[in-house]
Amino acid sequence: MIKIGVLALQGAVREHIRSVEACGVEAIAIKRKEQLEEIDGLILPGGESTAMRRLIDKYDFMDALKQFAKEGKPMFGTCAGLILLAKNLVGYNESHIGVMDIKVERNSFGRQVDSFEADLAIKDVAENFPAVFIRAPHIVEAGENVEILCKHNDRIVAAREGQFLGCSFHPELTENHDLTAYFVKMVKEAKQKQLV
């Protein structure tokens, strides 16, 4: 049985936990870095990336998160979580966790008042996924090993690189759990590999 953690420092933690549980998997709110050892995959939720980074530093999470990635365990960043995963950020000299070979621009769809919903076709996930964009970032550039899963108005809004999955929108704010289920499958496959 796999366990999926949701980094519970800030952001839409409860909604992600509900979505993971809807996929029939145990979900754990991660509030201490030691808990990372108990889980097989981690969701970095949407929220405010600057506030999240401050809390990651305050609670000494950064090295543990990088180690988690090094161990080959899957990570899924949504909205602010996507910013945390990116190796490069537009207008910033350094990244946060910096494990996914993408360049991300923050707030590229405008401010809170410009929030919107769009039905997206996401490769291997859903033909019609109801995506909620709130002050969303987008992927400006993707490395050669990054698989682009979805674009909206020619902007990359979902991508995968090996064990890393990222999207610009908030899949946890809908009743559609297909993208979470896709991540659950990634976690199961990664665990299978580790057992071999």
**pTM for the whole thing?**
0.95
**Predicted pLDDT at 49:** 84
Predicted local distance difference test score (pLDDT) of residue 163: 98
Catalytic residue among 15, 16, 79, 105: 79
Active-site hit among 16, 138, 152, 170: 170
> Residue 173: which H helix or E strand, with range?
none
pLDDT score at 107:
73
pLDDT at 57 > cutoff 90:
yes
150 counts as catalytic: no
- pLDDT one-digit tens code per residue, 4-34: 999 999 888 999 999 999 999 999 999 999 9
Q: Over the stretch 94-141, which tens digit does the pLDDT of each residue have?
A: 999 999 999 999 876 666 666 899 999 999 999 999 999 988 899 999
CATH topology of domain 3-195: Rossmann fold (3.40.50)
Hey, where are the domains in the chain? 3-195
Tell me if residue 170 is catalytic.
Answer: yes
The answer to whether 21 is a known catalytic residue is no
- Checking if the pLDDT of 180 tops 90, the result is yes
pLDDT score, position 46: 87
**pLDDT tens track for 71-93:** 999 999 999 999 999 999 999 98
- Name the active-site residue from 15, 105, 161, 172: 172
Write out the two tokens for 86: 């990116």
CA angle 81, 85, 89 (to 5 degrees): 100
CB-count burial class (<10 Å; 0-12, 13-18, 19+) for 188 = middle
Residues 6+ apart with CB under 8 A from 71: none
